Structure 1
């Protein structure tokens, strides 16, 4: 049979290595780091575990082997990620962002850039190297990132402007939520930054991707104090006449920074999904153990009651189905040159939202005691709440990408079932925005009152 859900011996070894690291190296550091009120210190408290992950080949496992990376397939990386996410998805996000920051170099960079940037990331003798992904922008009038692809004129859309002056780009503006703060709020070693290289246009036009290196003058970082993923680095970044060499611009992404955003968030879709699976799995196992050992005042453990058994059975089924969707999406990426703009988005939406429900159902089984800080359910709920709204929010970028593909006249609804490549085009971006609706349909049918 071509369809086989059995892990190979190599995949079981990857899973076992990741599980051993997560349980024996990472887990002891997480409770204190999660409670640390200072977000910079909280992130830094995971640094010893990260160094061990780097030296064990975990931190750069997703990068191409020809440049020193682990060369793991998307499927193998997803299998490993579940084990780490079951302990702490914030730490897993730190590792994932090495891929978000450096995979665009492998997709859109020159051979020299690949050897320079990916090679440096995979050969750091200290094991502290971090890659960053810098796309999101602050909220406010004509700002934020969810509608970055709407075809509005400037100043809508991405507002970080890169102006060429000789052999440098001068960058001005702000980013918010990037994973680029670094261990000390002075930046990651490199960050892939989405910039507007043509400030005369808005929407998806004029966007590019450039690599910004740590220590570049004119850049300041302020960590964001988050409710979830407290061990991950997220910052607000100010670029004030920061000068970055022109040679750091990824040539394959010049004028196509929108494709970098969409491809990156599709590539990370099954990883975000498996993070949700890991969190839900941990909550489910805790709730199952609770149900087998607590009576809640009855004469028998509550697992003997139908409602408890039914709810936990539903949770187990949802976890299994979500895991297989993540495997399927990762396998699709491996088969289609790491393109899965439709499948990756659908996977991320479906799994993260289903797993949030699983965590809440597990809390209902445990009851009010799930609120007790001595148990982990508060952390599970905080972490589960992050997953549908980050990594290209489900109600922002992800659903619109799915909508844009499905609405295209060339879309074949059986393509995914038959494992055929579904190409993502610029014409599929921006669907559902007011300007886009006007542009395509204003002369065909009367506009609904809500968008008049």
Structure 2
């Protein structure tokens, strides 16, 4: 939490410069950036501090679904409220993940099984309100700067206790100060300037008007669309960290002689490894740009390619950071260099943002297994619809 709070002045400047809400449409006060433009900025931010990049990214994860699925009144009430704030502190959270246990849920939110499989945070209609109970674990930004709640939190909830994960989920905005909502902060090993938290809902009453209209029964599609958008952003963050490691290792290799007659860059191993790393960075960056352009030109859909680019880039870049450490050798373990931090940051990317060995690969699998799938879709820049029939593959034994 301390690292997150130290980023508050930087966040205020990001608000002032239009970065904090740059991904949102200009008609509601956002920056109106294309996804390609947003990635260019995101790489520069995340090459320095990916945790801060995550904080900005989550503003989009929390508010872009309001743009996609909300009524005009909801867009004005939530998006325009965020972008018009002049305090430099307004922040938005996004809550999907849940812990096991009781109360608790599972990561396979779209499991096609009844009886509470998947997400279990329940929102029960009671007059003009929804009453929410349950726990979320790992969401970012949700506790706000003081641990008492973000200004707005988009929370995926189960609004139909009898339906499965492909039809019983919705999304609702929980505002700061809502009684019955508490937060427990999580201490993480990487991206420590971002904030992760547990949320506990205990008969929290939220106005029914805060349920994002188009998400009713479609919270599953919202989650897949959200993480498709964030996939290349995570990917470009990994590119930024690998770039930082590559430039540091190259500088080391050009100045360090290991007691020999010339710097180690003049030997084949450092030269070949760093050449490979440089090529992989360019490949991953190009894939992220392609993905962002695809999303820009397909109505902010890219469920398959978004997952592909995230998996490919984050795993490849983790390997690149470690290869750079091998070039530097045992000196990379010396804290006077930055490789230890870069390795920790790199390790986060394949694990967060829907997890590569979780939702990301499952989404690709579900699209590929569908009878309608054309294997040349991405190559030919064709629109690939993502449907409920593509969800849940591999989550129930025997399916």
Matches of 1:288 and 1:140 in 2, distance apart?
A: 47
Unaligned runs of 5+ in 1: 1-39, 439-452
Shift of 1:156: 1.8
Unaligned runs of 5+ in 2: none
- 2:313 is the alignment partner of 1:351: yes
The residue that corresponds to 1:62 in the other structure is: 23
- 2:139 is the alignment partner of 1:175: no
Matches of 1:297 and 1:148 in 2, distance apart?
A: 57
Helix, strand or coil for the counterpart of 2:184? Answer: strand
Matches of 2:342 and 2:71 in 1, distance apart?
A: 41
Shift of 1:434: 2.8
Matches of 2:346 and 2:83 in 1, distance apart?
A: 31
Matches of 1:97 and 1:113 in 2, distance apart?
A: 19
How many residue pairs get matched? 398
Q: Deviations over 1:291-327 (max 9, x none)?
A: 0000122221110000110000000000000000000
Matches of 1:96 and 1:117 in 2, distance apart?
A: 17
The residue that corresponds to 2:52 in the other structure is: 91
Shift of 1:203: 2.4
The residue that corresponds to 2:83 in the other structure is: 122
Q: Give the aligned CA root-mean-square deviation in angstroms.
A: 1.1
Shift of 1:381: 0.5
Helix, strand or coil for the counterpart of 2:136? Answer: strand
- 2:189 is the alignment partner of 1:224: no
Please report the TM-score for the alignment, with normalisation by the length of structure 1: 0.87
> Within 5 A, what are the aligned runs for 1:188-337?
188-337=150-299
Verify the 8 A CA contact 2:98 2:107 in the aligned structure 1: no
Q: Deviations over 1:212-260 (max 9, x none)?
A: 1111110001110000010001100000000000000011000000001
Q: Deviations over 1:143-192 (max 9, x none)?
A: 55431111122232101000000000000000001111211111111011
* Distance change in 2, residues 1:145/1:64 (3 Å): farther
The residue that corresponds to 2:42 in the other structure is: 81
Please report the TM-score for the alignment, with normalisation by the length of structure 2: 0.98
- 2:127 is the alignment partner of 1:161: no
The residue that corresponds to 2:327 in the other structure is: 365
Matches of 2:297 and 2:214 in 1, distance apart?
A: 21
